[in-house]
A = this chain, B = another copy of it.
Amino acid sequence: MSRRDGPAGPTVFIVDDDPDLRAALAGLFRSVDLATTAYASAAEFLNTKRSDGPGCLVLDVRMPGLSGLDFQAQLAGLGIHLPVILMTGHGDIPMSVRAMKAGAVDFLTKPFRDQDMLDAVMTALARDAERRSRDAGLLAVRTAYETLTAREREVFVHVTAGLMNKQIAGLLDLSEITVKIHRGHVMRKMAARSLADLVRMAQALGIVPG
């Protein structure tokens, strides 16, 4: 029921209190060469050390302790951004709408067809992969940004706003040469090979002149 999820591929995390369903799902995912790890409750999932590798969550709505919906609502706050697929045997429309509004990939009613679950998981894994590639690019930029001093960040903002060194000097009450120095430091620390690069980094960081 559990397999190593090395660099080979993503892991499907199953959280359901029904051992039979856990086994069935694990078998289903194994049939398409997906690694799986199963848990009987949300608490068990949270208390277990996991790699933070790629994957997705398959949650039962009705479980002892935290329900699948409540669990889903808490995931973002816990820093877990795995895409979620919900399953239920006794759901209703408001419940499914709430889950989808909260960003669930799918909301399946039991019994569901194997293919429907596989489709949902594939969609979830694709969504996770996309988020990870976005985050990976952003992490390097954020890390570099952290190394900037306060002054350098001010200059960074104005440079990427398109202001000339002279104008920035006026705004910050500095000499133009000082702005040039800071600007050079920003380019070096951010590993930007051109102003265009730096502007895109600012965009990714959500930095706006206003």
Residues of A within 8 A of B (CB): 91-94, 96-97, 100-101, 106-107, 109, 159-163, 193-197, 199-200, 203
Contacts and interface: CB of A to CB of B under 8 A. Distances in A.
Nearest to A100: B100
Contact of A93 (B96, B163, B200): B96
Copies of this chain in the oligomer? 2
Given A93-B107, A107-B93, A196 B161 contact: yes
In terms of DSSP, what is the predominant structure of the interface of chain A? Answer: helix
A162 B100 contact: no
Contacts of A94: 109
Given A97-B106, A100-B101, 18 more contacts: A91-B93, A92-B93, A93-B107, A96-B96, A96-B100, A97-B100, A97-B107, A100-B100, A160-B196, A162-B193, A162-B194, A162-B197, A163-B194, A195-B195, A195-B199, A199-B199, A199-B200, A200-B203
Contacts of A101: 100, 106
A114 B168 CA distance: 53
A155 to B, nearest CB: 13
Nearest to A196: B162
A141 B164 CA distance: 23
Contacts of A196: 159-162, 195, 199
